[in-house]
Structure 1
Amino acid sequence: MFSGFSSFGGGFVDIPQKFEEFFRCYPVAMMNDRIRKDDANFGGKIFLPPSALSKLTMLNVRYPMLFELTANENGKVTHGGVLEFIAEEGRAYLPQWMMETLGAQPGSLLKIGSTDLPLGQFVKIQPQSVDFLDITDPKAVLENVLRKFSTLTVDDIIEINYNDNLYRIKVLEVKPDTSSRGVCVIETDLVTDFAPPVGYVEPDYKEIQKRRAEEIRRTKQDPSAHENGSMSRRINYKGMIKEHQKSQSGFAGEGQKLSGKPTNRNEEPEDLSKIKISLNGEPLKLDLPEGQLFFGFPIVLPKGSEEEDTQVNTFQGQGQSLRKSSKRRDKSDHESSKAKAPRSPEAIEID
């Protein structure tokens, strides 16, 4: 079988020839247990019989081998590669998502032909569930998954398996855009864009920020705002704080500190030792809001350095002690007096 002749010099010209055959399609789950590969369900490659390999080797088919799959019943089209040539004669085994995309039933007639697709440059996908957002690094996961695919076609809903969870992803757009609506994803730099998952609702960040600010403001100003703890409800902490504040308001008016700042009568009392606490009663369930702890006393924030610097010294000047300290004798004088004393002889001679 010759591909053709050249009009110049009688040489051979490589003219690509197309492979096209009809097969009965079945899902991968229906393959023989000895040859079945369940991981093929989460890829984009099919199984063909050995006779298909024999015909492909006789034809001038470009590599990698890419195929166009057309359902004979409804005319739906998708693309894929080939994983192995181990299927029974007259049969082709497809991943489950590919059967659903083509709308084909087990045993349906399927036309499979060789094709050429451009290398993909861009793809936009859309997860079909908000559960996809639970993946920490979806781009890294997708990069690893696409190694099992040879092509991507618009409107395909592929399936991937990650951490024993099944995710469905729809292909919305591919570039370059051709009449085949598919691209090859083998050995190419593919830019990936994610559309919001189906069912995803964008949160109102302004409202969330406003509620957080209000909660922080309320917690800082009201020491009795921590009444949600079990111990607080058990001893009626909020009520005791209010009663103690009322008892401290016997005198009206405002006072001034030594620093010159007016006192705040509404500030929380510093002396809480007078509060009577009773631990009688049945303990309640601990139910604190997230991020809050209760230790049985109000929160008193420490004063900042700026506030300490503003304190005014009421008394200024230099003080003196009523008792003057006596001067100690200089050690050098003591040593000099010792040096003047005559030294005793080391030995005495007697005549």
Structure 2
Amino acid sequence: MFSGLMGLMAEHAAAPGMRDQFKETFRCYPIDAMNDRIKKPGANYGGKIFLPASALNKLSVLNVKYPMLFEILARESNTRAFGGVLEFTSEEGRVYLPKWMFRGLGITVGGLVEVLSTDVPQGRFVKLEPQSTDFLDISDPKAVLETALRNFSTLTVEDIIEINYNDTIYGIKILEVKPKSAIQSICVVETDLVTDFAPPIGYVEPERFSDKIKAPVDKAAANSNRTLGPMSKRIKYNELLNTTNNESLFLGKGLKLSGKQPKTKDDTETSFKKINLSLNEIPARLDLPKGQLFFGFPIIPPKALPNEATGADDIAKQPRFLGIGASLRKSSKKRRNTSGETDAPSSKKKNPKPKKESAPENPEIIEID
């Protein structure tokens, strides 16, 4: 009888809706205030807290769902936060929170908080907002977030979490989570999470220049003002172009380098004054024969001076080479002079060599007493 009653009580205690709740009050400190012996590097860039060993003893007795998730209530500021537990190594009566979580609660160092075990639904979607445009410098933000979110157990709307990448701290605000619930928080442990990004704070989208609609243009007006700039309009260049003033604008006297007198005005009269130039018409097409180029001005070859003129026959009669040739090695028999004649061989020899006396065939015998 009693054994059956105990079995019913055990099943009732193990029912999902009748789980026991962990509830304790601790003094709250940031992780930076922890002893270096128990402090964990990088704990500030996650969403897990440090609890004392006595909390582990109570949780092992209670029927608490895994993963262990907690709600931190700050009566002082009427705020709350959600997170997991990293270790049970803090001093008795103390709880240590990451810096961003402690800042979000808005309490003083050593203030009282309540830590309660809770259930948070598994997350499927989260929308994030980077707090700085420096986040755009990350080449692969998806891979960075996938690694950084392993240090978090929950994500709560309006929280500004912090991650560390390449010794740079990036703040990220949680804008939206799904599924939606009253606590506006989701669990990100062992779940497939779809991530969306909002533009970072301070980001300005580059302007997009839309194609302008081309309005109909008056061709006559366009042709009249096509070559006239602001300065041309100011001095009324179009009117000055067709002026009928026949007086010369140059009143000086020209001189030639050759010393000759320049031609008179009547000789150099051109037909430019008879041409009526206009900028209102389209320029006529310039058709040139094949192989001919037009540079905009006539090519007048220079005239040779009388004293400089020389005939072709005179040039041909002039000697082409007036130098004297010489050989590096001269012959003793024949020598050539500049006129092409050969010198007679000299009868006298310079510095004749003495003949050597040959030894007699039968030398005389000399007797010595």
Unaligned runs of 5+ in 1: 211-251, 267-351
Which whole-Å CA distance do the structure 2 matches of 1:103 and 1:68 have between them? 15
State the Cα distance separating 1:127 from its structure 2 match. Answer: 0.5
Name 1:64's counterpart in structure 2: 67
Which whole-Å CA distance do the structure 1 matches of 2:24 and 2:130 have between them? 34
* SS of the residue 1:204 aligns to: coil
Name 1:157's counterpart in structure 2: 160
State the Cα distance separating 1:253 from its structure 2 match. Answer: 7.7
State the Cα distance separating 1:37 from its structure 2 match. Answer: 1.4
Alpha carbons of structure 1 residues 56 and 257: separation in structure 2 relative to 1, 3 Å: farther
Q: Which amino acid aligns with 2:64?
A: V
Which whole-Å CA distance do the structure 1 matches of 2:201 and 2:66 have between them? 36
Question: Does structure 2 conserve the Cα–Cα contact (< 8 Å) formed by 1:153 and 1:174?
Answer: yes
Name 1:168's counterpart in structure 2: 171
State the Cα distance separating 1:193 from its structure 2 match. Answer: 0.6
Which whole-Å CA distance do the structure 1 matches of 2:176 and 2:4 have between them? 41
Alpha carbons of structure 1 residues 158 and 254: separation in structure 2 relative to 1, 3 Å: same
Output one character per residue of 1:11-64: Cα deviation in whole Å (capped at 9) or x when no partner: 622131000111111111111011111300000000000000000001000000
Q: Which amino acid aligns with 1:114?
A: S
> After superposition, where does 1:171-182 map in structure 2 within 5 Å?
171-182=174-185
* SS of the residue 1:17 aligns to: coil
Which whole-Å CA distance do the structure 2 matches of 1:11 and 1:147 have between them? 38
* SS of the residue 2:203 aligns to: coil
> After superposition, where does 1:112-261 map in structure 2 within 5 Å?
112-206=115-209, 255-256=286-287
Unaligned runs of 5+ in 2: 213-282, 297-369
Name 2:106's counterpart in structure 1: 103
* SS of the residue 2:144 aligns to: helix
State the Cα distance separating 1:6 from its structure 2 match. Answer: 8.0
State the Cα distance separating 1:264 from its structure 2 match. Answer: 9.4
Which whole-Å CA distance do the structure 1 matches of 2:134 and 2:146 have between them? 18
* SS of the residue 1:85 aligns to: strand
Alpha carbons of structure 1 residues 140 and 253: separation in structure 2 relative to 1, 3 Å: same
- 1:83 pairs with 70, 83, 86, which one? 86
Runs of 4+ aligned structure 1 residues displaced above 4 Å come to 5-9, 252-260, 262-266
Which whole-Å CA distance do the structure 1 matches of 2:120 and 2:289 have between them? 85
Output one character per residue of 1:136-173: Cα deviation in whole Å (capped at 9) or x when no partner: 11111111100000000001000011111110000011
Q: Which amino acid aligns with 1:66?
A: L
Over the matched positions of the two proteins, sequence identity in percent amounts to 58
Name 1:29's counterpart in structure 2: 32
Alpha carbons of structure 1 residues 8 and 33: separation in structure 2 relative to 1, 3 Å: closer
Question: Does structure 2 conserve the Cα–Cα contact (< 8 Å) formed by 1:101 and 1:156?
Answer: yes
State the Cα distance separating 1:256 from its structure 2 match. Answer: 4.2
Q: TM-score, normalised by structure 2?
A: 0.55
Instruction: Give the alignment's Cα RMSD to 1 decimal.
Output: 2.9
Output one character per residue of 1:215-272: Cα deviation in whole Å (capped at 9) or x when no partner: xxxxxxxxxxxxxxxxxxxxxxxxxxxxxxxxxxxxx986446789x98979xxxxxx
State the Cα distance separating 1:205 from its structure 2 match. Answer: 2.6
- 1:12 pairs with 10, 13, 34, which one? 10
Name 2:309's counterpart in structure 1: none
Q: Which amino acid aligns with 1:105?
A: T
- 2:53 pairs with 50, 55, 60, which one? 50
* SS of the residue 1:38 aligns to: coil
Output one character per residue of 1:81-126: Cα deviation in whole Å (capped at 9) or x when no partner: 0000000000001100001111122101111100001100000010
Name 2:95's counterpart in structure 1: 92
State the Cα distance separating 1:10 from its structure 2 match. Answer: 3.9
Q: Which amino acid aligns with 2:188?
A: V
Q: TM-score, normalised by structure 1?
A: 0.58
Which whole-Å CA distance do the structure 2 matches of 1:167 and 1:264 have between them? 68
Name 2:218's counterpart in structure 1: none
Which whole-Å CA distance do the structure 1 matches of 2:20 and 2:40 have between them? 31
State the Cα distance separating 1:190 from its structure 2 match. Answer: 0.3
* SS of the residue 2:42 aligns to: helix
* SS of the residue 2:10 aligns to: coil
